[in-house]
Amino acid sequence: MLIEKFMRNLSALPGLGSRSARRIAIHLLTQKDDKMLPLIKLMQEVSENIKNCDVCGNLDSQNPCNLCTNHNRDKDVICVVANVSDLWAMERTKTYRGQYHVLGGLLSALDGIGPDKLSIQSLLDRIAQDEYAEVILALNATVDGQSTVYYLTDQLEKFYKGKVTKLAHGMPMGGELDYLDEGTIITALKSRGTL
Ligand SMILES: [Zn+2]
């Protein structure tokens, strides 16, 4: 049934269970002109105009994104994050003023995600080309996050002479950046240490 397919697709979205999906479906279907049709139009516009930045992987209406083209940001430090949501979590702290690189996920033996599935080569290319004094690995304190840290550190050791740091252990184990409050991220960032 079409309406069930609609609700199933909604409930597959992050953060939505079947109950919220049902409420949203009813909300939209009972207010088609006011809510549903404008939302369809907006989603179409967003899908056409918001793209991943070719340099860092952030989502923006301009490419390269507004962070990569901002000349007031530090050019000598790069922060590596798993996802765009983690990048935005870092930005919300208004503490970090350097460059970013979004990996597009984490290495996972269990899920069969190897280095070729992530933006790792482009990261290594950037670090080899530009002069970074510091690479911050702001990856989740999960098993996958830590194996990604080990892999990147190993690759960087081969050619990179600068400092490699990671967020401090103040981060709860298994914690994902996006779920942390700004204060916790700021503390983890300020007390980051070399590996
Ligand atoms: Zn960018």
- Domain annotation covers residue 54: no
Could you read off the pLDDT tens digit of each residue along the chain, which spans 195 residues?
999 999 999 999 988 999 999 999 999 999 999 999 999 999 999 999 999 999 999 999 999 999 999 999 999 999 999 999 999 999 999 999 999 999 999 999 999 999 999 999 999 999 999 999 999 999 988 889 999 999 999 999 999 999 999 887 655 555 577 777 788 888 888 878 777
How many separate domains does the chain show? 2
> Could you tell me the CA-to-CA distances from 92 to 20, 49, 63, 97 in Å, in that order?
27, 23, 21, 11
Q: Both 182 and 111 in a single domain? A: yes
Residue 77 lies in a domain: yes
Distance 67 CA to ligand 1 centre (A): 6
Domain containing 165: what range? Answer: 59-194
Task: Quote the CA–CA distance of 111 and 174 in Å, as a whole number.
Answer: 17
> Do the domain assignments include residue 154?
yes
For residue 97, the model assigns a pLDDT of 95
DSSP state of 180: S
Enumerate residues with CB within 5 Å of ligand 1 (an ion): 53, 55-56, 58, 64-65, 68
Residue 71 and residue 45 in one domain: no
The Å distance, Cα 6 to ligand 1 centre, comes to 34
Q: 122 CA to middle of ligand 1, Å?
A: 13
Q: Are residues 173 and 82 in the same domain?
A: yes
Q: Residue 146 C-alpha to ligand 1 middle, in angstroms?
A: 24
Residues 25 and 85 in one domain: no
Burial letters for 149-172: b for 16+ Cβ neighbours within 10 Å, e otherwise? bebbeebbeeebeeebbbbeebbe
pLDDT at 147: 93
In a domain, 117, yes or no: yes
Cα–Cα distance measured from residue 98 to residue 72, given in angstroms and rounded to the nearest whole number: 9
Query: What is the pTM assigned to this prediction?
Result: 0.85
Distance 56 CA to ligand 1 centre (A): 4
Q: Read off the CATH number of the domain in which 27 is found.
A: 1.10.8.420
Sign of the C-alpha dihedral computed for residues 89, 91, 96 and 101 taken in this order: positive
What is the arrangement of strands in the sheet containing 134-137, beginning at the earlier edge strand?
99-102, 77-81, 134-137, 163-166, 193-194
